[in-house]
């Protein structure tokens, strides 16, 4: 029951009604018997500064951040974590006695998916498909895990080169477009292929990135960060070729688990959060 001692959490974005975070986080808060409530807060681009001031003044304990505010909120915070600085995006803000600290838990989520698939990225060859926001978290996670050669495959090579511009200190990165032989070579040698594009996401479930499965190694892992549907056309095709697969559900849940810990100082019931998200996604598709 909400009372005068209830601590306030939330998620800001525009739009925000579709967010799964309130469902997942409130279930975990109730399970942990914590006197918190987590609410969705729609904040327009033009109102972000005022919203942050208001949340701080209202003594919100913290909040998650989604599109379009992940980068725009950074100048409004007092301190930014190293991961968030590297990614140029914040997805979790903690209010510590009026001081606002920004974090990014997407890398934690991505690496949790690799761990679940029993994949050690150190020294491995990787092909990352796409160069959007999700790709930055994937790329930084792979670099932190000391992956070997990493090829970023894109439709627009100029965009890809701009994308890796923030990672110039790393010499094991290259960019190619889908028409180049370098892309075919990357697929042939890759231990891991990661799709970071929305191709195949519900409702466009018949789409998939251009991957020639005849080129892939028999022991390659195909990781799709999409979680709706649970099995994309890319992953279904990979299974038909007897390849190992990993979808984005664990990445989604574990970034939320990491955010929960930052916001409350407590460890949530991961199993429950996975169950809640799985049920929510299944009902959404129905």
pLDDT digit string, tens, across residues 117-141: 999 999 999 999 999 889 999 999 9
Q: What are the tens digits of pLDDT across the range 54-63?
A: 999 999 999 9
Give the per-residue pLDDT at 4. Answer: 87
List CB contacts of 224: < 8 A, sequence separation 6 or more: 194, 195, 200, 232, 234, 235, 245, 246, 247, 248
Q: What are the tens digits of pLDDT across the range 153-183?
A: 999 999 999 999 888 888 899 999 999 999 9
Give the per-residue pLDDT at 284. Answer: 78
Q: Which residues carry out catalysis?
A: 70
CA distance 188 to 107: 26
Beta bridge partners of 152: 128, 175
Give the per-residue pLDDT at 168. Answer: 80
Residue 283 has pLDDT above 90, yes or no: no
DSSP letter, residue 6: P
**What domains can you pick out in the chain, each with its CATH number?**
7-104+250-285 (3.40.50.10860), 107-247 (3.40.50.720)
What's the Cα-to-Cα distance from 61 to each of 27, 172, 201, rounded to whole Å?
A: 18, 40, 33
Higher per-residue confidence, 132 vs 74: 74
pTM for this predicted structure: 0.94
Residue 266 has pLDDT above 80, yes or no: yes
Look at residues 151, 109, 102 and name the one whose alpha carbon lies nearest to residue 130.
Answer: 151
Residue 282 has pLDDT above 90, yes or no: no
Give the per-residue pLDDT at 222. Answer: 98
Give the per-residue pLDDT at 257. Answer: 98
CA distance 52 to 220: 44
Residue 276 has pLDDT above 80, yes or no: yes
Q: What are the tens digits of pLDDT across the range 228-254?
A: 999 999 999 999 999 999 999 999 999
Average pLDDT of the chain, as a whole number: 96
CA distance 131 to 148: 19
């Amino acid at each position: 029951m909400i009372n005068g001692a209830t601590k306030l959490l939330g998620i800001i974005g525009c739009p925000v009604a579709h967010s799964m975070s309130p469902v997942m986080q409130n279930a975990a808060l109730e399970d942990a018997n914590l006197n918190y409530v987590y609410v969705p807060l729609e904040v327009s681009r033009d109102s972000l500064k005022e919203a942050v001031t208001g949340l701080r003044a209202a003594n919100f304990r913290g909040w998650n951040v989604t599109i379009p505010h992940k980068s725009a909120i950074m100048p409004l915070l007092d301190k930014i974590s190293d991961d968030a600085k590297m990614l140029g995006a914040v997805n979790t803000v903690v209010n510590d006695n009026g001081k606002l600290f920004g974090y990014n838990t997407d890398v934690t989520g991505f690496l949790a998916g690799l761990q679940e698939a029993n994949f050690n990225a150190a020294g491995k060859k990787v092909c990352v498909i796409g160069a959007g926001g999700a790709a930055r978290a994937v790329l930084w996670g792979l670099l932190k895990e000391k992956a070997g050669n990493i090829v970023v495959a894109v439709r627009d090579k100029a965009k890809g080169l701009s994308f890796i511009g923030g990672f110039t200190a790393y010499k094991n990165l290259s960019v190619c477009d889908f028409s180049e032989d370098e892309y075919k070579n990357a697929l042939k040698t890759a231990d891991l292929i990661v799709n970071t594009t929305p191709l195949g996401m519900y409702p466009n479930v018949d789409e998939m990135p251009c991957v020639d499965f005849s080129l892939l190694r028999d022991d390659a892992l195909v990781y799709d960060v999409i979680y709706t549907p649970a099995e994309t056309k890319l992953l279904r095709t990979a299974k038909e070729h007897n390849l190992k697969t990993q979808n984005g559900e664990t990445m989604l849940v574990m970034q939320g688990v990491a955010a929960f810990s930052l916001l409350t100082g407590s460890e949530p019931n991961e199993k429950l959060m996975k169950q809640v998200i799985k049920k929510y996604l299944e009902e959404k598709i129905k």
